[in-house]
A and B are shown apart, each in its own frame.
Chain A
Amino acid sequence: MATKKRAPTRRTGQKAKPKTHPRSSLKTVPNEVAARYRDGQEKRVCEALAPYGKVQTYPRQRMVVLECAGQLSAKVNGALDDLQAAGVLEFVTPVLLDLASNTRQVLTDEIVLRLKPGRTERTLDALRSEHGLEIGSRNEFEPSQYIVKVPKASGTTTLDVARSLDQSDDVEFASPNFITQVKQ
């Protein structure tokens, strides 16, 4: 498990207390990439990426995962850039491997954020403006928990923002809402 560095929070300048929950170690899967397509664009994305490897679609998440034979080539990155420029894709993210469980984790634009007890929506609003977030849904069972979205989620931005949020004194935890591989 990777240890977390203590960093000053941006809001208060005070040193954050170390969180009790451990971090998972993640590694980028070198031959896979994920992307979220816009409504109705599944076929176009599949056709554009099929020449480069095996394409798996997850329609309920509007996600596509491309698995290449070798490392991702410049041609693959170029095709993805073209699709993004054409407005077909919302974002492109890496597929990560959780080393502890040996399961694939697809990074999305969502973060699960739980505020510490006693924090109000004003706190959430401050975090939103500080990190440039969009506030998604409030959890049905845990009123202090939210799904927040990172507007420009390409690359590892979501992971970086989640780590930054997790350091805040106002936050119980913040973790990317991975689409996770479930081993049955």
Chain B
Amino acid sequence: MPHYYAASGATIQLDESPDDVGVRFGREDGSAVAKKAFRALAGPAKAKSRRAAAPPARRFGRFMMLHDTGASAAPVGTVVNALPHRLASRVTRTMPVFVERDSKLKLVATEQILVSFKPRASASTRRKLLDGLGLSLAGRSEFDPNRHIVVPSSLRRASRTLDLANRLVEAEDVVAYAAPNFLAEVRKRSVNDPQFAAQWHLDNTGQNGGTALQDVRALDAWQYVGGGDRSIVIAIIDDGIDLNHPDIKKNLWRNPKPGARDRHGRDFVDDANPYDPRPKVFVPPFDDTNTNDIHGTPCAGVAAAVGNNKKGVTGIAWNCRLMAVKILAGSDLAPNDRIADAIRYASKHADVLSCSWGVARHPDIEGAIAFAVSRGRRGRGSVVCAATGNDRESKIGFPSSNELVIAVGACNDDGVRSDYSNFGKGIDLVAPSDDDGHQGITTTDVNLRGKGYSSGAYCDDFGGTSSATPLVAGIAALVLSANKTLKWTAVRDILRSSADRIDKGHGRYEDGYSIRYGFGRVNAEAAVSSAQRRKGARKRRAGKKR
């Protein structure tokens, strides 16, 4: 039997699922009982796995959704059969599960209805409408005084909530919208890039011997902000980016200034051609970082390779923009003033600066970093991320040691510090990368035949703190995508406070800080949700002032 509800004037068509049933446990200890029931049905292994296909049970608070053949035909019998008797007896209601026709997402109809009254509707008019339909108020929104939760005084079948919601919608003069407060299935947003399965740093399922969940929780972060906001720009300050790479080209920053010659960035090495910041120097052997311009392209891919384009790999911030700022060309030497000016230039246009390199401390570079955090993003400060270094030392290199910089070390696919990763006073975070005997990072490579770390357009062995740094830079871009008003210090605070304290046994954390891991491994999901919460809090404060 077809069902429907209304949303923004459109009719959302639903079909009742024959094989699913919703279950609610008692109010007092419902959540704990539901948890036990969920464990009894799913088992600890499946409960832990993110990829369990067609799980028999899913839980939210004191609600559960059970999947069983013919479940809707005899819901009570299904529950009693599926659950141990002591738990089944705690079930207080069974509810139908609907499937939305377009998205095929499942919706459990609870007895609650969300109704938003029009501001002009008086209290007596509202009450009259609710009384007429046998509804009573059960709660009011914290954020919108006109939005209420209403429940039927008596309810024989939960699908009746659909009818009641639709009856409310018909009262156009009083009601802005009304719809059942479904317990809605959320489909985690993934990407369709063919090599995504190898990108364990984004979604570690335990592939190739790694440990499941030892990643940056990219899939969860993308639920909030997708691949990030197009207006957020990440500058890769390195030896150039392959501007024609099929998995990068679409995400290149384009100078909005009409007629600007620096269309995608600047080359601070080549005075003869300063507006072409692509890799230019290649000398055999073509995979030697010190003599070839092959380092910036993999860094760029980790941060913001184009995602969801059915090609190659994805970056963590796959919808943000990349700016190429070139400071090296075919050698490991660069003048201090050029490095410093590259940082200053990048901060004029970019929100986040990624520096996968280390140099000797120099006042001009220190001055440039101060410039970036004070003048970048119209005074909110560009976020500067830098690698701690790969020297197996217990001190971190410059510029990561600068207090205005987010210092990034590396950890492996088991969630342990990479052996080579410099650590020590001043380290802020670690991010997944390669290690001896562990998986490398799959990312973009210069797309020139025979040149780069591999023979093709992608490599699977990138690593070092060089790879960890653009991963953090990309996550900083996602944080800014969630909340553009944050100052650079707030971004740093969010990344620190939301990090996962990994390797607690050997990490020697004191007050949440470890000399080996800083504040822990960066957690994209926690960081982005924290940024969004701050945005909400700010709006609430502004509302109160008004």
Which residues of chain A have a CB within 8 Å of any CB of chain B? 21-22, 24, 56, 58, 60-61, 63, 98, 100-106, 108, 110, 112, 114, 139-142, 145, 147, 173, 175-184
Cβ contact within 8 Å between A58 and B336: no
Instruction: Please tell me if B18 contacts chain A, counting CB pairs below 8 Å.
Output: no
Instruction: Please tell me if B243 contacts chain A, counting CB pairs below 8 Å.
Output: no
Q: A180-B359, A181-B359 are in contact. List 11 more A-B contacts (CB 8 A).
A: A60-B329, A98-B361, A101-B359, A101-B397, A103-B358, A112-B363, A142-B371, A147-B337, A179-B336, A182-B358, A183-B391
Within 8 A of A (CB), among B382-425: 389-391, 397-398
Instruction: Please tell me if B332 contacts chain A, counting CB pairs below 8 Å.
Output: yes
* A148, chain B: closest CB distance, angstroms: 11
CB-nearest residue of chain A relative to B362? A175
Residues of B within 8 A of A182 (CB): 327-328, 332-334, 339, 357-359
Instruction: Please tell me if B163 contacts chain A, counting CB pairs below 8 Å.
Output: no
* A166, chain B: closest CB distance, angstroms: 9
Cβ contact within 8 Å between A183 and B332: yes
Cβ contact within 8 Å between A183 and B333: no
* B399, chain A: closest CB distance, angstroms: 10
Q: What are 23 A-B residue pairs whose CB atoms fall within 8 Å in the complex?
A: A56-B331, A63-B333, A101-B358, A101-B361, A101-B397, A103-B358, A103-B360, A112-B340, A140-B341, A140-B345, A147-B337, A175-B362, A178-B336, A178-B360, A178-B362, A179-B335, A181-B332, A182-B357, A182-B358, A183-B332, A183-B359, A183-B389, A184-B290
Choose one: A58, A104, A139, A184; the contact of B356 (CB below 8 Å). Answer: A184
Residues of B within 8 A of A147 (CB): 337
Task: Given A142-B371, A181-B332, A182-B327, decide whether A98 and B337 contact each other with a Cβ distance below 8 A.
Answer: no
* B329, chain A: closest CB distance, angstroms: 6
> How many Å lie between the Cα of A101 and that of B269 in the bound state?
23
Cβ contact within 8 Å between B361 and A100: yes
Residues of B within 8 A of A56 (CB): 331
Cβ contact within 8 Å between B289 and A184: yes
Pick the 4 closest A-B CB pairs, nearest first: A98-B360, A141-B344, A173-B363, A101-B360
Residues of A within 8 A of B335 (CB): 61, 108, 110, 177-180
Cβ contact within 8 Å between A101 and B337: no
Task: Given A61-B333, A178-B336, decide whether A142 and B357 contact each other with a Cβ distance below 8 A.
Answer: no
